[in-house]
Amino acid sequence: MDLFEALYTTRAMRRVSPDPVPEEVAAAMLDAAIRAPSGGNSQNWRFIVVTDPEVRSRLGPLYRRAWDRLRSTVYAGRWEKAQEAGDEAALAVMRSSQWLADNFETVPMWLMAFHRNDPSGASIYPAVWSAMLAARAHGVGTCLTTILGTFEHDSTCEVLGVPTERGWRLAAAVSCGYPLGRWGLARREPADRVAFQDRWGEPLPFAVPNPMWLP
Amino acid sequence: MDLFEALYTTRAMRRVSPDPVPEEVAAAMLDAAIRAPSGGNSQNWRFIVVTDPEVRSRLGPLYRRAWDRLRSTVYAGRWEKAQEAGDEAALAVMRSSQWLADNFETVPMWLMAFHRNDPSGASIYPAVWSAMLAARAHGVGTCLTTILGTFEHDSTCEVLGVPTERGWRLAAAVSCGYPLGRWGLARREPADRVAFQDRWGEPLPFAVPNPMWLP
């Protein structure tokens, strides 16, 4: 797959079928992940490929509790606001996020990513994103979630047997499966609205076509 | 460029020539960055493309001060240990990091990335990594650094006019330029040594060739 096709069409793909993700795809995701650069080349990462139905059934309730916490705190009022404003894009994100919480156990594979001595996240998330791009090349949809780490860190690590006493922290739970929806270009606030030249607020001296790549 | 070639060969490329990065490449990097997914599709990112020699000359001393702080704290003793152990890979990382600090002003372009309401970094670093992969496709080498944000956050933001009072934080300073060295596959601890199945410590039930992709 062309690099730019992957970069432009790997959007959050939450609704997936229960069909298993082949082991070759999991292997490709893991090997792509570890090729990413990390601070001082420390490679302070670990991954767990979760497919066992029993483990998924123990994590599902934790994920839903975390999702409920997110909805009642950070996302408080967001659903109602989006409904009032008729903001279909925001409603679509909320609905598919709700779907993922409701269907945690039927998602065939979750890739859990851990890090240590990486306070900014600058070393783990490029690796996680590489795994997601590799999945895309194999037709597997993914979604990077952080709510288990934010709201259910220790309970999740207990289920997975993570040695948190040695500094390991859950950075991401990535859902993986064959998409029920279609791949496509995500709409975004254009680059020239969010990028400046030399100083904050100074417009770029060049045009950025929106988008620069088309399928 | 093939996705896997980009994922496998985009290593930290610190030594670069002073030749300018074309505006089309900067545009391609920015537009790739904003296609990345972000938590709740919040797109809470901003970028500054720094090429102005005066701005670079104000940031260089801050970068070197940050690098000295890293060397005397997190990296304390690392150089000596690597020398004693004859660890050429670690020495190469230290030497090229020193080169980047010594030559901050001659690096033709720095991409500064900012985020807010993104405590884990899960929303900004995929976007930054996408920009770095897009640069790779155009033959431009990059290195993701975080030391300005860690050790010189407010002074850097002051130079760049960042409205920190509105919650914006520097997430990364990415050096960009045409490489003096060669692209190549980075050596890594193999995936099957850092990845488990279903529970921490459980070996993967499948093989992961090291590497799975070859030039």
Query: How far B107 CA lies from chain A's nearest CA (Å)?
Result: 14
Are A150 and A156 in contact by the 8 Å Cβ rule? The answer is: no
Instruction: Examine residue A82 and state whether it is found in any structural domain, yes or no.
Output: yes
Residue of A nearest to B199 (CA): A160
Query: How far B210 CA lies from chain A's nearest CA (Å)?
Result: 7
Which tens digits make up the pLDDT trace of A177-191? Answer: 999 999 999 889 999
> Of the candidates A3, A41, A171, which has its C-beta nearest B93's C-beta?
A41
Structure tokens at A211: 């988008």
pLDDT computed for residue B79 by the predictor: 87
Instruction: Examine residue A210 and state whether it is found in any structural domain, yes or no.
Output: no
B192 and B180 part of one domain: no
B179 and B79 part of one domain: yes
B13 and B45 part of one domain: yes
Answer whether B31 sits within 8 Å of A3, measured CB to CB.
no
Work out the number of other CB atoms within 10 angstroms of the CB of residue A162. 23
Residue A122 predicted with pLDDT over 90? yes
pLDDT computed for residue A205 by the predictor: 98
Answer whether B195 sits within 8 Å of A48, measured CB to CB.
yes
In Å, how far from its chain's centre is CA B164? 22
> Of the candidates B5, B23, B200, which has its C-beta nearest A160's C-beta?
B200
Task: Give every CB contact of residue B47 below 8 A, 6+ residues apart in sequence.
Answer: A191, A194, A195, A196, B30, B33, B111, B112, B113, B114, B131
A132 CB neighbours in chain B (<8 A) are 126
Query: How far A47 CA lies from chain B's nearest CA (Å)?
Result: 4
pLDDT computed for residue B76 by the predictor: 86
In Å, how far from its chain's centre is CA A211? 22
B47 touches chain A (CB under 8 A): yes
- DSSP-derived 3-state class of residue A50: strand
For the sheet with A195-197, list strands across it.
Answer: A195-197, B45-50, B109-115, B169-177, B141-145
- What CATH number is given to the structural domain containing A29? 3.40.109.10
A208 CB neighbours in chain B (<8 A) are 27, 30-31
Instruction: Examine residue A96 and state whether it is found in any structural domain, yes or no.
Output: yes
Mean pLDDT, chain A, as a whole number? Answer: 96
Residue of B nearest to A50 (CA): B198
Instruction: Examine residue A163 and state whether it is found in any structural domain, yes or no.
Output: yes
B91 touches chain A (CB under 8 A): no
pLDDT computed for residue B215 by the predictor: 82
Output the CA angle A46-A47-A50, nearest 5 degrees.
155
> Of the candidates B50, B144, B191, which has its C-beta nearest A31's C-beta?
B191
Instruction: Examine residue A93 and state whether it is found in any structural domain, yes or no.
Output: yes
Which tens digits make up the pLDDT trace of A7-29? Answer: 999 999 999 999 999 999 999 99
pLDDT computed for residue A76 by the predictor: 86
Of B74, B69, B79, B67, nearest to B14 (Cα)?
B67
Query: How far B46 CA lies from chain A's nearest CA (Å)?
Result: 5
B33 and B84 part of one domain: yes
- DSSP-derived 3-state class of residue A111: strand
Strands (E), chain B: 45-50, 109-115, 141-145, 169-177, 195-197
B142 touches chain A (CB under 8 A): no
Domain residue limits at B41: 3-184
B14 CB neighbours in chain A (<8 A) are none
Q: Give chain B's residues under pLDDT 70.
A: none
DSSP state of B21: P
B116 and B153 part of one domain: yes
Query: How far A31 CA lies from chain B's nearest CA (Å)?
Result: 6
B64 and B161 part of one domain: yes
A82 touches chain B (CB under 8 A): no
Residue A115 predicted with pLDDT over 90? yes
pLDDT computed for residue A79 by the predictor: 87
Residue of B nearest to A40 (CA): B93
Work out the number of other CB atoms within 10 angstroms of the CB of residue B178. 17
What integer is the mean pLDDT of A48-72?
A: 97
Domains of chain A: total: 1
Task: Give every CB contact of residue A73 below 8 A, 6+ residues apart in sequence.
Answer: none
Distances (CA, A) of A53 to A59, A105, A165, B188, B192: 10, 7, 27, 31, 22
Work out the number of other CB atoms within 10 angstroms of the CB of residue A125. 29
**What's the pTM?**
0.98
B197 and B96 part of one domain: no
Which tens digits make up the pLDDT trace of B198-212? Answer: 999 999 999 999 999
Are B179 and B15 in contact by the 8 Å Cβ rule? The answer is: yes
Name the band, by pLDDT with cuts 50, 70 and 90, for residue A43. Answer: very high
B51 and B151 part of one domain: yes
Instruction: Examine residue A49 and state whether it is found in any structural domain, yes or no.
Output: yes
Residues A65 and A152: their CA atoms lie apart, in Å, by: 8
pLDDT computed for residue B187 by the predictor: 87
Of B181, B85, B183, nearest to B132 (Cα)?
B183
B80 and B154 part of one domain: yes
B196 and B115 part of one domain: no
Residues B56 and A77: their CA atoms lie apart, in Å, by: 43
Residue of B nearest to A47 (CA): B195
